[in-house]
Amino acid sequence: MERREFVITSVLGAAGLAAGRTTSALRLDFETRKILIAGGGFGTAFIRYLAELTGKPRPTLCYLPTASADGPAGIITWFRNCASLNVEPSVQESFIASTRQTRSWEEVFLSVDGIVCSGGNTLNQQAIWKAQGIDHVLRLAWDRGIVLGGASAGSLCWFEEGTTDSRPKELTTVQGLGFIKGSHSPHYDAEPGRRLLYQKLIGSGVMKPGYACDNDAGIYFEDNSVKRVVATRAGAKVYHVSVAGGQVVERVIEPELIS
């Protein structure tokens, strides 16, 4: 794998970052940074592909269902989707108590090969991650080559911004972690208003250009470069939406089918 060097100035975790404390700089070698997203539907085929991206014969994959409020239905589906794969699946809840959560976020997320985030409410997900310091640990995981992924809120979270149904009454915008530069719209073909709003926001300059994904279609990024566009359903597509000559331009990117 390609390796690069970065300098970090804190190894104290979320508490140290919140307090503004640092240690002497440490130099670490970081792996190629990888993220696999889907517009909706991160089922067995996407999990299989994410597992392959780890380069491990039997990777450890952690499911992070913060956006779905650690809902049991999503957790059961996760284990069902992993059942036919040569992976070691686990779940890390965010609604925890110190009496039963005996490992730190760093110990959990930096010890696995891949992290898949659930769909759900992106706004609440981001607020909880920031309050818990999970956002900083996910950044460390990304820098260390741990493969990140997810669909819906689990795809939107990695971008700078995007469209969300996380608030009452109407689709609005939300800020993400910013690992991937630009914007994102999931469910591009499945939810009324997504396409129109996304194009309007980008066309007016309110939102940065970016990528939209139909349900069952997705993108594999290395750093901020698109390396592969995939889908698990014929007809599902990926789009790059930008502005040229004062007009919104929607460029279709045809995906490869995976299973």
Q: What is the pLDDT of residues 195-243, one digit of tens each?
A: 999 999 999 999 999 999 999 999 999 999 999 999 999 999 999 999 9
- Residues 80, 43: Cα–Cα separation, whole Å: 9
State which residues of the chain have pLDDT below 70: 1-30
Which of 166, 158, 180, 175 has its CA nearest to residue 64?
Answer: 158
Q: Is the pTM of this model over 0.85?
A: yes
Nearest to 34 by CA among 17, 18, 49, 16: 49
State the pLDDT at residue 161: 96
Assign domain 3-257 one CATH number from 3.40.50.300, 3.40.605.10, 3.40.50.880, 3.30.930.10.
3.40.50.880
Q: What percentage of the chain has pLDDT greater than the value 90? A: 82
Per-residue pLDDT at 132: 97
What pLDDT does 30 receive? 60
Catalytic residue numbers?
152, 187
pLDDT of residue 226: 97
Give just the sign of the alpha carbon dihedral 156, 66, 9, 5. negative
HSE-CB for 114 with a 13 A CA cutoff: 28
Least Cα distance to 106 among 24, 14, 194 occurs for 14
How high is the pLDDT of residue 171? 79
- At 104 the pLDDT is 97
